Structure 1
Amino acid sequence: MNTFKSLSCLALISVGIWGCSLQDLSEYRVEITAYDYAFQAPEELPAGWITFILNNEKAHEIHELSFARLPEEITYGEYLDEYVGAWEILLKEFQAGEVKRSGISARINELLPDWADGVKYVNARGLVSPGRSAEKTVYLEPGSYALDCWVKTEDGIIHLSNGMTRPITVTDESANSPEPSAENKITLKENEIDVQWNAETGFHSFAVLIEADSSGSPVHNNIHLIKTEENTDLNEVNTWMDWYKVGGLRAPAPADFLGGVSTYDATPDESATYFSLEIDEPGEYAWIVQVADGEQLWNTFNIP
């Protein structure tokens, strides 16, 4: 089993943290620098609303930030060996054709440890292409977390299996930061992306609200902005965004990703998810939500 020994060799220093003292009610900002394949990130953070800047300007592949809260009795090493290790085995078998798409659920349940249900991915994705930076604001409860990148290399290896993972402890101390007040709003409906904003170049912040289906569950859990070209196939982009495809989330990406978010803990019609990004040039763009093959959910637009 991969024990991620390469982590001990990484020089992960010089993390930028901005904001006033914890006595001031101000935004708490942390810059995470991505490399191929490592994160430069803090070991400890206060609890509350934290704005994470994913700086992907030094990397050559697309990356993401996923936050997994670990069960109290489980160590980061156990998470890597037993939980991530199970997904490594599943992915290897799936890519070799030994497990079919329909059999993924049963097989991963065989491989995962008994405590796997206690791992909570509170926020994920926010895909950022090489040379770009983007932000997302996440509410973190006290506890132990893993900061991961689940994108795959060209050879189909999960980035975190190559060392792109970090343990982070969220303390009982409060960041004393307010919930964001985004200038623009996106509402994800079953068959519509309702975006309320003026499409123009510049830095933009978004609050994402998700409607509920008939059972009360969120209709979707992700939204991304991409810059398109004349030959960009949005059906191909949608398929590529599916991690459970053999070629899904495997470098290189079929489009230029500017940022976005996936969420697993939002309450439909109530709580929002927040992200911000920079649109640095005119051109053709698309908001895209990853949905099942054969379905389409995107908005294309032009910035003159």
Structure 2
Amino acid sequence: MSNLFKGLMFNITTIIMSLVFLMSSLVHGQSQETVVHVEAIDHAFDVDAPNQLPSGWVTFILSNQMASETHEISLVKLPDGVTHEDYLTDYMIAWETLLREYQDGVLERSGISDRGNEILPAWSDGLRYLNARGLASPGTTAERTVYLEPGEYLLICWLKTEEGIIHIMKGMHWEFTVREDTADSPVPNPESRITLHEKEIEIDWAPVTGKHAFEVELNKNGNGRSYHNNLHLVRLEEETDLNEVNEWMDWYKIGGLKSPSPVEFLGGIEVERVADNAYFSVNITEPGDYAWIVFVSQGQGLYKTFTVD
């Protein structure tokens, strides 16, 4: 098969997918959610969407039904002129070096920033990690809605295998472009609100089984940065130690975010420190004991436990 024919078939397939995706947003002439369905596989993403999306509100649904490890969706926007390949090679190879030197004891944690300045590409400061860490354990589904501006993006998973290899380096990434045209997708209107204070998780919600949509409000300090920028839902067992879970969520630790996870994760969010709010949904299928966790780096996490009857 000639390269010309292959290229033609690829373009036709892309056009068809884009048309199907567009039609799904125009049903009955009403505003429809722009939804990207993502199936996690050890270690890849199977994405049911074209790799060109309209700008605006987009809902990402991560299904982790087929994988044996915990996974996440992390969204990064690339600086102008930086390619997906640049990120996956120059940037990620530098991060592998940083992680190895730190975990081998060659590099102190306090020295990671300076060492990063030496080996990371000059354009690294221009990366924007918009939304991440909606951790989903095997058999669960995580969902979040985020506003995407035009540009080049990657959908990635920063968790590690049992051997300590970053999932991105195993092939767990999906490259896509956000176009200038804006989708007619509605602004999220969740049923419940969670406010993250400096030392408290405030929640207006009655815990019952079913799917629940949340808006997370991020209180800020005097410098305009949020006290906390993440929130996660976990299912508790009798032996669950939330302090150990908080330590496991520290990516820099030798066992941090490394398979297997110490608890069942049911979704959540992590956003930029300057963000005002975030949107996500979780699905609670069974009665039991649960906890909201705010990961705190080099400190004790913030927790709020509850029971679903």
TM-score by length of structure 1 reads 0.91
Aligned to 1:40: 46
Is 1:225 the counterpart of 2:225? The answer is no
Distance 1:93 1:52, change over 3 A: same
Equivalent residue of 1:126, what SS? coil
Q: Of 298, 305, 308, which residue of structure 2 is paired with 1:303?
A: 308
Range moving further from structure 2, 289-298 or 134-143: 289-298
Write out aligned runs for 1:14-33 (5 A): 19-21=24-26, 24-33=30-39
Is 1:94 the counterpart of 2:102? The answer is yes
Aligned to 2:283: 278
Is 1:290 the counterpart of 2:290? The answer is no
Between the two proteins, what is the percent identity of the paired residues?
50
Is 1:79 the counterpart of 2:84? The answer is no
Aligned to 1:123: 131
> Following the alignment from structure 2 to structure 1, what is the Cα–Cα distance between the partners of residues 46 and 159?
17
CA contact (8 A) 1:70 1:119 kept: yes
CA contact (8 A) 1:266 1:273 kept: no
Following superposition, the deviation at residue 19 of structure 1 comes to 3.9
Write out aligned runs for 1:1-304 (5 A): 19-21=24-26, 24-41=30-47, 42=49, 43-264=51-272, 266-267=274-275, 271-304=276-309
Q: Report the residue type matching 1:153 in the other structure.
A: T
Equivalent residue of 1:94, what SS? helix
Equivalent residue of 2:142, what SS? strand
Distance 1:173 1:294, change over 3 A: closer
Following superposition, the deviation at residue 286 of structure 1 comes to 0.2
TM-score by length of structure 2 reads 0.89
Following superposition, the deviation at residue 106 of structure 1 comes to 1.2
Gaps of 5+ in 2: 1-13
CA contact (8 A) 1:189 1:210 kept: yes
> Following the alignment from structure 1 to structure 2, what is the Cα–Cα distance between the partners of residues 255 and 175?
37
Following superposition, the deviation at residue 295 of structure 1 comes to 2.1
> Following the alignment from structure 1 to structure 2, what is the Cα–Cα distance between the partners of residues 36 and 282?
29
Number of equivalent positions: 289
> Following the alignment from structure 1 to structure 2, what is the Cα–Cα distance between the partners of residues 265 and 141?
18
Q: Report the residue type matching 1:73 in the other structure.
A: G
> Following the alignment from structure 1 to structure 2, what is the Cα–Cα distance between the partners of residues 76 and 112?
15
> Following the alignment from structure 2 to structure 1, what is the Cα–Cα distance between the partners of residues 241 and 90?
37
> Following the alignment from structure 1 to structure 2, what is the Cα–Cα distance between the partners of residues 245 and 201?
34
CA contact (8 A) 2:142 2:267 kept: yes
More helix by percentage: 2
Equivalent residue of 2:56, what SS? strand
Following superposition, the deviation at residue 216 of structure 1 comes to 1.9
Aligned to 1:9: none
CA contact (8 A) 1:49 1:178 kept: yes
Equivalent residue of 1:194, what SS? strand
| Structure of larger gyration radius | 2
Following superposition, the deviation at residue 98 of structure 1 comes to 1.2
Gaps of 5+ in 1: 1-12
Q: Report the residue type matching 2:222 in the other structure.
A: S
> Following the alignment from structure 2 to structure 1, what is the Cα–Cα distance between the partners of residues 287 and 24?
32
Equivalent residue of 1:204, what SS? strand
> Following the alignment from structure 1 to structure 2, what is the Cα–Cα distance between the partners of residues 172 and 76?
19
CA contact (8 A) 2:229 2:273 kept: no
Q: Report the residue type matching 1:302 in the other structure.
A: T
> Following the alignment from structure 1 to structure 2, what is the Cα–Cα distance between the partners of residues 72 and 128?
31
- Alignment RMSD (CA, Å): 1.8
Q: Report the residue type matching 1:21 in the other structure.
A: L
Equivalent residue of 1:152, what SS? coil
Runs of 4+ off more than 3 Å = 13-19
CA contact (8 A) 1:126 1:259 kept: yes
CA contact (8 A) 1:184 1:196 kept: yes
Following superposition, the deviation at residue 294 of structure 1 comes to 4.0
